[in-house]
Structure 1
Amino acid sequence: MTATAIAALGSRSRTLMPGFIASATVAAAATFLSEHYGAPVMLFALLLGMAMNFLSGDGVCKPGIEFTAREVLRVGVALLGIRITLEQIAALGWQPVAMVVALVVVTILVSIVAARAMGFNTLFGLLTGGATAICGASAALALAAALPSHEKKERATLFTVIGVSALSTVAMILYPMIAQAFGLTPLQAGLFLGGTIHDVAQVVGAGYSMSHETGDSATVVKLMRVAMLLPVILCAAMITRARGAEPGTKRPPLLPWFAVGFVVLAATNSTGLIPQVVQDAGNSLSRWCLVIAISALGMKTQLKELASVGIKPILLMVGETAFLAALVLGMLHWGF
């Protein structure tokens, strides 16, 4: 590395560091509040970030906040792949795999149709439907990173993250009671919880609150939904390419680098070569990257912009969540 390159890297780091440190500080505060009060960390990160919106103006923090919201987010999405192994998926047999593929595809398609019927952009339906069907806030952030730029994309992304975080918390409390009311077996309850609750943490909490068997099956089913993130990101990237690049920019790649990283880590993890301590570190790093990135996204958004979205987006996301729960219960009833 030449002296010029080193100087350029140092200058770039000094430019980005204030915004990154601000985002990481907000993320640390959000994590502390989440651990002490039990609410989703993503929700705290968003709210605290929006309270620090003034940092994203034309001051010294702006470049770092922009970088964190974009690139640190993508690193966190790539690291999600370390959670998944093919052995975990194969252990449940073909039926849960078929169920997960079907519920993700159907939920996203229904969400797109519903969004169009309510007067929204098709991409908003893909964003909210993907977040509902796959893995909540993580999926919303990953899809937003792959979708084409739009003047309202950041507001739509933040609204989606807030919505799925709130609905996932409600589901963690309500869905175990629904499973008991329907008389589901521990395995069926795990399939229901893992197939419907949005965020991984809430799935784990709801599953193990019922039984160890339910918790195990719910967690694996949830990770199978996380694995569906890759084909959905690929579809989003294809849409972006089909729409063409913005003037003065190059055409986006068919498969974003963070999606490639997701696949490589999942495949490597399936070989058993990654020690458990490295897996745990990767999971922790992925979580921190996503929380830091959502803090930066919160800083870039004003609360009055979110308040202007109206009631229809809320109804859309509640409807998507209810549809997913009904779909999974129907599949279990008919022998899936």
Structure 2
Amino acid sequence: MKPLRAVGPGLGLSIVIAIISQLIGQFVIKGLGAATIAILLGIILGNTVFQQPQLASGTAWAEKRLLELSVMFLGATVTFQTIGALRWQGFVFIVLQMAITIIGVVLIGKKMRFNEGMTLLMAGGNAVCGSSAIAAITPVIDADDKDKRTAVTLVNLMGTILMLGLPLLGTAVFGHSDFLRGALIGGTVQSVGQVVASGTMINAQTTTFATLFKIMRIILLVVVVLIFGRLHRQQQTSNDTNVALPKSSSFLPWYVLGFLVLCALNSLIHFLPIISGTAHFLSSWCEIIALAAIGLRLNLAAFIKAGKQLAIYGATILILQVGVAVGLIWILLK
């Protein structure tokens, strides 16, 4: 644990940006979401006003530790009973949607010559739950911080586009079916906050269905982490038979285990609303503060330099995700 005086300035700045972002999201730009605002505001301020070296320790700590805590607290907000609530068709839809998204994102990434870390982070972030999934996957595939920050930024921007566009697309394709529109939003939009915001643009019933589909994706986070860890170990072994694999690739990170334990407990005993509500509050704030820190640490010049390739990658993934989701919903759920 780093001393408070080392992490204090950067952590404090990240918290201030998170609070400002929350206020902007509630009273100024309603619907965009505090998480998206936090990372965008962090990028702007981190590349203009706040470039002091003494902020680095605190923003690095917030980026890593608070995203980890966000993943763990999220476990207390979901249950395995969600699968039963959406019937077998809903479960099959989510599994196929996630699998096709992951395979497609990885293949597209390889075709565009992105490295393994970037492609797997983009695959997990888009298929599961945005920043939280990226944070959970990073250590098991030994991805570097630069790839993590780039993936988090791009995935959040993509999520914002889907958040705003899917209510219109869902109504155009599926009419006024709240269940089908909820499936489209919950099966594709990246973060929990973006799913709720997108569903709210239609009505409360759509938000409920979208959230249920999203929770099912979150529950499968552990499966994705295990698979990605195994793929990374196999890749390392095939590249060098004498390589000593890092410990992070051998076991689930502590916070993913914490997520699984809390999810299992909530499924068995059903936490009181005050407990699950508090966990949701802590998870959301940890994520927003961490995203502010990631924005502060992102090199905007380098991101813009790679912008064309990243934009093509992101746009291709969006088309893939939405196209597959619409097709699967039409076949399985309509």
**Short-chain TM bin:** 0.7 to 0.9
Partner of 1:103 in structure 2?
Answer: 97
TM score, norm. by length of structure 2? 0.87
> Is 110-119 or 211-220 further displaced after alignment?
211-220
Kindly indicate whether residue 220 of structure 2 is the aligned counterpart of residue 228 of structure 1: yes
Distance 1:218 1:157, change over 3 A: same
Between the aligned residues of both structures, percent identity stands at: 26
| Cα distance in 2 for residues equivalent to 1:299 and 1:145 | 21
Partner of 1:202 in structure 2?
Answer: 194
Q: Is the 8 A contact 1:108 1:125 kept in 2?
A: no
For 2:308, which of 279, 286, 311 is the aligned residue? Answer: 311
Q: CA deviation at 1:91?
A: 1.2
Q: CA deviation at 1:172?
A: 2.6
For 1:217, which of 198, 209, 212 is the aligned residue? Answer: 209
Partner of 2:240 in structure 1?
Answer: none
| Cα distance in 2 for residues equivalent to 1:177 and 1:55 | 38
Distance 1:249 1:173, change over 3 A: closer
Q: Is the 8 A contact 1:23 1:296 kept in 2?
A: yes
Residues 53-132 of structure 1: pairs in structure 2 closer than 5 A: 57-59=52-54, 61-132=55-126
Q: CA deviation at 1:160?
A: 2.7
| Cα distance in 2 for residues equivalent to 1:106 and 1:26 | 36
For 2:128, which of 130, 134, 145 is the aligned residue? Answer: 134
Partner of 1:167 in structure 2?
Answer: 158
Q: Is the 8 A contact 1:108 1:129 kept in 2?
A: yes
For 1:33, which of 16, 24, 28 is the aligned residue? Answer: 24
Partner secondary structure for residue 116 of structure 1: helix
One-letter code aligned to 1:219: T
One-letter code aligned to 2:153: I
| Cα distance in 2 for residues equivalent to 1:298 and 1:249 | 31
One-letter code aligned to 1:110: G
One-letter code aligned to 2:166: Y
For 1:238, which of 215, 230, 234 is the aligned residue? Answer: 230
- Tell me the C-alpha RMSD between the 2 structures: 2.5
Partner secondary structure for residue 89 of structure 1: helix
Q: How many residues of Structure 1 are paired with residues of Structure 2 in the alignment?
A: 321
Q: Is the 8 A contact 1:27 1:291 kept in 2?
A: yes
| Cα distance in 2 for residues equivalent to 1:335 and 1:135 | 22
Partner of 1:251 in structure 2?
Answer: 247
Q: Is the 8 A contact 1:112 1:123 kept in 2?
A: no
Q: Is the 8 A contact 1:241 1:251 kept in 2?
A: no
TM score, norm. by length of structure 1? 0.86
| Cα distance in 2 for residues equivalent to 1:142 and 1:335 | 30
Distance 1:130 1:249, change over 3 A: closer
Kindly indicate whether residue 318 of structure 2 is the aligned counterpart of residue 321 of structure 1: yes
Deviations 1:301-333, CA, capped at 9 Å, x for gaps: 221121111312211111112111111111122
One-letter code aligned to 2:171: Q
Q: Is the 8 A contact 2:124 2:133 kept in 1?
A: yes
Deviations 1:30-89, CA, capped at 9 Å, x for gaps: 222222213232232223323135756542x33222222212221111111122112222
